[in-house]
Amino acid sequence: MRKRHKIIFILLGLLLSFSAYLYAQVHYSNYTFSIPFGRTYDYANIIVSRVVDGDTLVLENGERVRLIGIDTPEMHESDKLDRDSQRSGEDKRTIRELGKRAYMFTKSLVEGKRVSLEFDVEKHDRYERLLAYVFLKDQARTFVNAEIVKEGYASLMTFPPNIKYADLFLKLYREARENRRGLWK
């Protein structure tokens, strides 16, 4: 029984210590809250570790990012590939090939590079991916979502309330189609 009391006493001590720490953070640090362990990430300066497909990235912290406002063809068997094939009349093999081209373009654009994320109204989708506009940390501050559309590797996919750049994307999409760039060749 003494061992049990000792464990309870230690846990209470840790709880009180943590509570005191939180109290100090809230009352003496201009109302900021931070946890004393773990790593935080600066979405204004983070590396894209991997490109999943033409419109989805993985950051160095393991979080997935879905690029807002754009949609690239599917590369893998999925329900979405089936729907896209039925909707467009294209066979699935053709769609997967277009998806690979979009993936390769996005990969060459961002993989291994530093980016900054800009969020719109909603920060996550139903799959818990971050929803973001992505900008390369290069001299031109290349707008990744827009560049993919501009070069003809994506269609538009707008879901209100995340519509901040919808007009720009529509303009770039029309230009890419008219000029037969990327997937529109």
Same domain as 136, residue 74: yes
- What pLDDT digit, counting tens, does each position of 104-162 carry? 999 999 999 999 999 999 999 999 999 999 999 999 999 999 999 999 999 999 999 99
Q: What pLDDT is stored for residue 30 in this prediction? A: 42
- In this structure, are residues 145 and 134 in contact, taking their beta carbons and an 8 Å threshold? yes
Same domain as 136, residue 70: yes
Same domain as 96, residue 28: no
pLDDT above 70 for 20? no
Q: What pLDDT is stored for residue 29 in this prediction? A: 44
pLDDT above 90 for 169? yes
Number of domains making up the chain: 2
Same domain as 27, residue 99: no
- What pLDDT digit, counting tens, does each position of 71-111 carry? 999 999 999 999 999 999 999 999 999 999 999 999 999 99
**At 159, phi and psi to the nearest 5?**
-125, 105
Same domain as 19, residue 89: no
Does the active-site annotation cover 4? Answer: no
Same domain as 178, residue 88: yes
- What pLDDT digit, counting tens, does each position of 55-76 carry? 999 999 999 999 999 999 999 9
pLDDT above 90 for 9? no
Same domain as 152, residue 80: yes
* CATH number of the domain enclosing 70: 2.40.50.90
Angle of helix 79-88 versus helix 92-110 axis, rounded to 10: 110
Q: Among candidates 59, 67, 64, 60, which has minimal Cα distance to 134?
A: 67
Catalytic residue among 63, 96, 129, 147: 129
Q: Among candidates 155, 133, 159, 160, which has minimal Cα distance to 144?
A: 133
Same domain as 142, residue 66: yes
- Distance separating alpha carbons of residues 19 and 33, to the nearest angstrom: 12
Does the active-site annotation cover 83? Answer: no
Same domain as 124, residue 89: yes
Q: How many helices (H) and strands (E) does the chain have?
A: 5, 7
- Distance separating alpha carbons of residues 184 and 177, to the nearest angstrom: 6
**At 162, phi and psi to the nearest 5?**
-85, 80
Catalytic residue among 66, 96, 101, 147: 66
Catalytic residue among 74, 96, 101, 147: 74
Does the active-site annotation cover 181? Answer: no
Same domain as 141, residue 79: yes
pLDDT above 80 for 8? no
Same domain as 29, residue 113: no
Which structural domain range is residue 125 located in? 46-184
Same domain as 159, residue 94: yes
